[in-house]
Structure 1
Amino acid sequence: MRRFILDLIVSELTLLRPGGHVAVPSDGSASLRLVEDLAVDSLEMLSVAGALAEALHLHESGIEDFLLVHPSLDDWVEVCQRGLRSYSAKLTFRTSGSTGTAKRCTHSLANLWQEVVELAPLFSERQRILTAVPSHHIYGFIFTILLPHALGISESAVGDLRMSSAASLANLSREGDLIIGHPEYWRSVSRALPSIPSSLQGVTSTAACPAELSDALLGSGLGALTQIYGSSETAGVGWRANAAEPYKLFSYWARAESSPAMFVRTEADNSETDFPCQDALEWVDDRSFYPVGRADGAVQIAGTNVFASNVQRVLMEHPEIADASVRLMRPDEGVRLKAFIVPRDPCGVAELRTSLELWLRDRLTSLEIPKAITFGASLPKNAMGKCMDWIIA
């Protein structure tokens, strides 16, 4: 509970303070006071407390107002535990969308437990979990809170890797550990560790894990890398052991007969619910599939959905920019966004570059801000007049 609440506090304050840094104890062991230690003002307090009450449905027990009366981590843990003893049937998670309109996704605890029941046999011999993902996101909640409970792993045997370098995994891990990560974390591990103990088992989700990365990790010795397909709206839909295989649906999911772009879930209460696919899918058969690209135009950066179109819109609002294009870097360039900008005054590039830094920082999250900006007289286009990729200078 303490880890869940602390992760949520940090996430909410980070959103409320663009460009700022929220420094809190990584393990949450200190008696954290939101006002005195984090300088949380009254408006921020309402937002953070509201997010926590929403996540755990504290309104169902009528206890949410106590969060404002006792704004400390210890007190919030107690309030939430009291609330959950009264009502714990549902939880709400937010999507990782970065357009300012993150969607709220409510799941019954019984439905989430369906996934854990099918995951547990895959990791039955694990006795400790190390995580590089926050526990208040649905992926982190399932794998670092519910799965340990199913495996009989105590809270003290769940360690946090987020404040450590990827190279430190060699010293922090023990034989038989389960490592919960995302593609960017695993990419860092692959670069930092030429050899990985074969006794370690990994999990990756939040974005597609490229085949070359999966192959590199397994080739370095990693015992197994389980890939989970899903979203905040659906939770886990399927899994696979490596990137060469299709994802296999969990038993309670099915391909919708009405459309290949829909899933059908049999809920814990035996009712059925349709869900649209977030990706275009290539079906191998009725129980297995390959994702072949996002249907909504989002790209994943550090496990977060980022929309290049939103970044382009913000750039075009700048009075000194005539045109702009934004896209994800190529694998050889990096893993962030890049932008090509056509300035209104070709002679004012130096001044525009300086003003643009503050302009973007005030309007975008750190993951949305392009890390490479190229200036030119016109956008790069092909013979058909369509925007094309460019090489970072």
Structure 2
Amino acid sequence: MPIDSAMTSKQPPARLPLLERRVEDCFAHLSSALSPLGGAAGEISVGTFIGQVLGLAERLPEAGFAINLCDNRYLFTLGFCAALVRGQTNLLPQNRAPATQALLREQYPASYVLHDGLENLLDSCPQFNLNETDLRADACRDIPHICADQLAAIAFTSGSTGQPKANLKPWHTFVTSSRMNAQAMLGDDYREQLRFALATVPAQHMWGLETSLLLPLFSRLCISDARPLFPLDVAQALQPLPAPRLLISTPVHLRALVHSGVAMPPVKQILCATAPLSQDLAQAAESCFAGELIEVYGCSEVGSMARRRSAQTDLWQLFDGLELAQDLSVIRGSHLPQEQPLQDRIETADGRHFRLLGRSDDMIEIAGKRGSLVEMNKLLLATPGVVDGVVFMPEAGQQTVTRPVALVVGTDITKQQLSARFAAHLDPVFMPRPLLMVDALPREENGKLPRAKLLAFYHELRNK
């Protein structure tokens, strides 16, 4: 199916719909009773959702920015859309810490915190608690429209330095990218086939925002408000959802689910992103869930941009509406404010399919020999007994040679066994030194591991 002409127009229309759904359709599945909705649980229709959005929009504070810290996925979506209708910009921080709230309040003084019962709130910042608001409303058939150029959200990422980086998202960018994503991720029938989805990722981060909030707005996807963590909870959250089911997750979480031994309900499709996924894990996930796994490649600046069936191929297919330019160094799209540089090196034969060659800083040189941190991490994560782990280069110190470091979360595996595994596959100069066993890595909610946070964690371990 070709991309709609509205998706490729250089001049977006003046106003765009909040969603493109049938009002009688199922929009969300509430896993438990929500008190702001009068104890409602089960399915929420699109029309009911619209009515609740319009009712909430009228009651939101007068402000320019809403710091959306809602934990429940449905309430987050409700607040996000109500802020849009009110003409406000959603601020999406990388965490809910008071220090982060204070920083945002300082940078955006015309802001307030939108939450659903968060306890560690900044006293000096205006607050609006959805859990203390009656959100019940009659169904509405009239779909609101949003100014195409309205700044819908500012998504903050940690970045390599740990300093929040602001990514500005106008509404027309979200609308166009969501249509593109729906077609690329779900297929040509994304407007016809009703699917029921469960996401294990938070809605505040770009991968969760694109899939668990924006996809339900622009495709026939009914999203569960549950965000289970443990394997048994994931299985129990999937079970009541009608087929065809969709699971949205990350490689870190999929690894835990696959190796848990818990029997999983079958799903039609798994969408996975935020870190490289090995072919072995992709094949194991497809077997575990009896469904097709689609891995998605993207970045916060652009969003999702390419897909592959990782169990079968290492070739990525670029989404329609995007193109590579300037010797494969930038990504271009008519809906993007500007060309965006690619952080990864790639190779392509036809401009639409490509292989990732890793980032420039993934290649290291020790004693005149070159090695790849990507390959070292693949080796580590493919080791039986390894639950999670990372191989990285620390900051250069006073030692003559800086060597890779390995931090490993494992079960039934020893440091000696890990060292033997590395020794069997790596040149001695690339052997991780030190190799430390840890209880957990300091990953963010979306599964990513920012370098600044990793280095601080390593420094803390070394000083114990």
* Superposition TM-score tier, normalisation by shorter sequence: 0.5 to 0.7
The structure with the largest helix share of the pair is 1
Does residue 255 (structure 1) correspond to residue 324 (structure 2)? The answer is yes
Change (3 A) 1:307 1:105: farther
DSSP-derived class of the 1:113 partner: helix
DSSP-derived class of the 2:457 partner: coil
Question: Which whole-Å deviations, capped at 9, do the CAs of 1:208-261 have from their partners, x for residues lacking one?
Answer: 1111110111123431111111101221111123353311111121121x3122
Structure 2: runs of 5 or more not aligned: 1-52, 57-64, 77-95, 115-123, 135-144, 363-372, 382-389, 420-430, 436-450
Taking only aligned residues, the RMSD between alpha carbons, in angstroms, comes to: 4.7
Once the two structures are TM-superposed, the CA of residue 139 in structure 1 deviates from its matched residue by 1.3
Q: Distance in 1 between matches of 2:177 and 2:146?
A: 23
Does residue 365 (structure 1) correspond to residue 453 (structure 2)? The answer is yes
Q: Distance in 2 between matches of 1:196 and 1:239?
A: 24
Q: Distance in 1 between matches of 2:226 and 2:455?
A: 22
Q: Distance in 1 between matches of 2:354 and 2:133?
A: 41
Higher relative contact order (CA 8 A, sep 6+): 2
Q: Give runs of aligned pairs for residues 128-277 of structure 1, distance below 5 A.
A: 128-153=196-221, 157-162=223-228, 164-173=229-238, 174=241, 175-193=243-261, 195-245=263-313, 246-256=315-325, 258-267=326-335, 273-277=338-342
Aligned positions, number: 297
Give the letter for the 1:369 counterpart: F
1:64 to 93, 96, 111: 111
Q: Distance in 1 between matches of 2:355 and 2:213?
A: 28
2:159 to 89, 97, 119: 97
> Contact (CA 8 Å) 2:268, 2:291: kept in 1 or not?
yes
Q: Distance in 1 between matches of 2:395 and 2:127?
A: 39
Q: Distance in 1 between matches of 2:180 and 2:286?
A: 23
Q: Distance in 2 between matches of 1:210 and 1:149?
A: 31
Q: Distance in 1 between matches of 2:198 and 2:105?
A: 28
Q: Distance in 2 between matches of 1:195 and 1:97?
A: 37
TM-score, normalisation: structure 1: 0.60
> Contact (CA 8 Å) 2:251, 2:276: kept in 1 or not?
yes
Question: Which whole-Å deviations, capped at 9, do the CAs of 1:150-208 have from their partners, x for residues lacking one?
Answer: 13446xx423324x302332221033222111110111111124654333421111111
Does residue 285 (structure 1) correspond to residue 350 (structure 2)? The answer is yes
Q: Distance in 1 between matches of 2:434 and 2:194?
A: 50
The structure with the largest strand share of the pair is 2
Change (3 A) 1:152 1:260: closer
> Contact (CA 8 Å) 2:343, 2:359: kept in 1 or not?
yes
The farther-off stretch of 202-211 and 213-222 is: 213-222
Q: Distance in 1 between matches of 2:161 and 2:132?
A: 29
Change (3 A) 1:161 1:116: same
Partner of 1:17: none
1:327 to 405, 408, 413: 405
Q: Distance in 2 between matches of 1:66 and 1:167?
A: 33
Once the two structures are TM-superposed, the CA of residue 77 in structure 1 deviates from its matched residue by 9.5
Q: Distance in 2 between matches of 1:368 and 1:203?
A: 31
Q: Distance in 2 between matches of 1:277 and 1:97?
A: 14
Change (3 A) 1:28 1:218: same
Change (3 A) 1:76 1:288: farther
Change (3 A) 1:166 1:97: farther
2:129 to 55, 59, 73: 73
Q: Distance in 1 between matches of 2:461 and 2:100?
A: 33
> Contact (CA 8 Å) 1:167, 1:193: kept in 2 or not?
no
Change (3 A) 1:373 1:76: same
Partner of 1:19: none
Q: Distance in 2 between matches of 1:7 and 1:160?
A: 21
% identity of equivalent residues: 18
Does residue 340 (structure 1) correspond to residue 396 (structure 2)? The answer is no
Change (3 A) 1:65 1:151: closer
Does residue 312 (structure 1) correspond to residue 312 (structure 2)? The answer is no
> Contact (CA 8 Å) 1:228, 1:239: kept in 2 or not?
yes
Q: Distance in 2 between matches of 1:238 and 1:197?
A: 27
> Contact (CA 8 Å) 1:252, 1:266: kept in 2 or not?
yes
Question: Which whole-Å deviations, capped at 9, do the CAs of 1:123-158 have from their partners, x for residues lacking one?
Answer: 33353321111211111111111111113446xx42
Partner of 1:382: none
Change (3 A) 1:107 1:69: closer
Change (3 A) 1:44 1:277: closer
Give the letter for the 1:242 counterpart: S
Change (3 A) 1:373 1:233: same
Partner of 2:31: none
Change (3 A) 1:283 1:365: same
Once the two structures are TM-superposed, the CA of residue 89 in structure 1 deviates from its matched residue by 3.2
